[in-house]
Structure 1
Amino acid sequence: MTTTDAEPLVRLDQVSVSFNELPVVDRVSLEVRRNDIVTIIGPNGAGKTTLIKAVLGIQPVTAGRIHKAHRLLIGYVPQHLELQPTLPLSVRRFMALTGAPETECQSALARTGIRPLFRKSVHHLSGGEMQRLLLARALVRKPDLLVLDEPAQGVDINGQAALYELIRDVRDELACGVIMISHDLHLVMAATDRVICLNQHVCCSGYPADISHDPAFVETFGQPVAESLAVYHHHHNHSHDLHGDVVDGEHPEHVEHHVHS
């Protein structure tokens, strides 16, 4: 699909979703363009996953409209993936289910840093390895829009920083748009361009550093992130794996996000 940066990949106009006449998502408007990383944060029950499912087209909206670019290709990383533990399933077979050639599957696994796990059982993967496998599966399609529901779930803090760094790199390489869900602004503020605070409705939105001090954010989510957690950047010639351990890097200008409390 070909779009210009000025054309939204997806635009939501006053979208509402109700269950049994109770609003779960209330008149939400947002748009995502190529090269955008938009992070939706909010407490449990805020309607984040419901909103994402509406974008994906698997949850009907009660009111409003969702506009998608023509022939939009979406890659989706779900929050959870329930696999039958008695079903033998290797990483290789899991990737083959995409229908992509094995060379492309291996390339996607290499991009997310888990190619050596090609023949390993998916049931023996760590939380971080599983998240990277799900990301690799989404990347095989070379999506225009990447949708991630809590992509760092089950990953320690340093591993989360490395995963968010990877997401930014993928955005740069594919020139795709990204919609990402998170519970915590402080863990993604260095990796996102724009934040939408959702608690059924949009409480506030804007740049991460500004949002953290917005009265609506503080009222809903607590103290500003600067008072509890600091995120900073530095340049170096190595990288961290999904466990937070130092490994040799291929890109000397790799930027790592470190988190300190």
Structure 2
Amino acid sequence: MRLVTIKDMSVTLGAHVALSHVDLTIDKGEIVTIVGPNGSGKSTLLRSVIGAITPDSGTVLRAAGLKIGYVPQSLAIDPTLPLSAGRFLSLPNRRPAEAVAKALRQAGVEDIADRPMAGLSGGQFQRVLLARALMDSPDLLILDEPTTGLDQPGSADFYTQIEEVRRTTGAAVLMVSHELHVVMSASDRVVCLNGHVCCHGTPEIVASAPEYRALFGTGTHGALALYRHEHDHHHHEDEACDHDHPHTHDHLGNH
């Protein structure tokens, strides 16, 4: 089932062309990761999908009745407020305790409902934001660099939880991330953005694309940790970037 269809979308913010002629689809249950350098239009794309920005040209079509859950990069909460995680999930309208407990369980932090928000670790705080996004059983979960500030094990744990959320709820996931060495293995499709779609496809295809490498470089100093792996295979036409692929690819691995 198609949840979102973006066709030939362009967005201008002030005098700056943020996005130019972007095409993107999101289907039920898939994980799509958006990558790109700072200023490449990633957040503008998310806001367009949500409906917070109206494109200057092109179309954004959402499935009828589409429910979206949103996990921001961060959220500032006054540390002096005596606000527990459970109470936070009940703002602004009180929610049944069972619904709060279910959302925390889905986010992997079922035991912290009574803990103060100000006392949570960075990873726990982001899990609570995830739980909040899951409260209304969204069809599409949107995450804007949700692991900013977490260490690599914390990021890996968070994305493992996202995979579990997709598996158990069937929600599609659209996320922005710089952490391809962690994210890509969980993604069905990766879209490399730099004001326009540079390339897209499976993680392996994007990892090997010259357009991607021109933006991020190679090796561990960039966004992508790679290992060499040789094999022969064929790519589907709709998954290819705008170039020919050699049979030797840089593939992702936690090795």
Q: Secondary structure at the match of 1:155?
A: coil
1:231 is displaced (CA, Å) by 7.8
Residues 75 and 145 of structure 1 are in contact (CA less than 8 Å); yes or no, is this contact kept in structure 2? Answer: yes
Question: Under a length normalisation based on structure 2, what TM-score does the superposition of the two structures give?
Answer: 0.83
- State how far apart, in whole Å, the 2-side matches of 1:102 and 1:132 are: 18
Contact 1:13 1:65 in 2 (8 A): yes
Following the alignment from structure 1 to structure 2, what is the Cα–Cα distance between the partners of residues 47 and 178?
A: 18
**Aligned counterpart for 2:49 among listed residues 55, 59, 74:** 55
Find 1:79's aligned residue among 43, 49, 73.
73
2:192 — aligned with what?
197
Gaps of 5+ in 2: 228-251
What is the alpha-carbon distance in structure 2 between the residues aligned to residue 146 and residue 74 of structure 1?
6
Structure 1 regions of 5+ residues with no counterpart?
A: 1-6, 233-256
Q: Counterpart of 2:172?
A: 177
Deviation at 1:66, TM superposition (A): 0.4
Aligned residue pairs total 230
- What are the Cα deviations for residues 101-139 of structure 1, in whole angstroms up to 9, with x where unaligned? 111111111222222221121122111111100101111
* TM-aligned CA distance change 1:112 to 1:228, over 3 Å: closer
SS of 1:9's equivalent? strand
Q: Tell me if the contact between 1:100 and 1:140 (Cα under 8 Å) persists in the aligned partners.
A: no
* Alpha-carbon offset, residue 227 of structure 1: 9.7
Please give the alpha-carbon distance, in whole angstroms, between the structure 2 residues aligned to 1:129 and 1:231: 29
Output the CA distance in 2 between the equivalents of 1:224 and 1:160.
Answer: 19
Tell me the percent identity.
Answer: 43
Q: Give me the whole-angstrom Cα distance separating, in 1, the residues matched to 2:42 and 2:174.
A: 11
Alpha-carbon distance change, 228 to 70 in structure 1, aligned in 2, over 3 angstroms: closer
What is the CA distance between 1:82 and its match in structure 2? 2.0
Return the offset for 1:33.
Answer: 0.5
**Given the alignment of the two structures, is residue 215 of structure 1 paired with residue 210 of structure 2, yes or no?**
yes
User: What do the CA deviations read for 1:191-241 (whole angstroms, capped 9, x no partner)?
Assistant: 111000011111100110111110111111111679986589xxxxxxxxx
Q: Which residue of 1 aligns with 2:8?
A: 14
C-alpha separation between the residues in 1 aligned to 2:20 and 2:214?
A: 19
The CA RMSD over aligned residues, in Å, is 2.3
Residue 60 of structure 2: aligned partner:
66
Equivalent position of 1:138 in the other structure = 133
Change (3 A) 1:228 1:147: closer
In the aligned structure 1, how far is the partner of 2:83 from the partner of 2:114? 9
User: Which residue pairs with 2:143 in the alignment?
Assistant: 148
In 1, distance between residues paired with 2:181 and 2:29?
Answer: 21
Instruction: Work out the CA distance in 2 between the residues paired with 1:39 and 1:69.
Output: 20
Change (3 A) 1:67 1:102: same
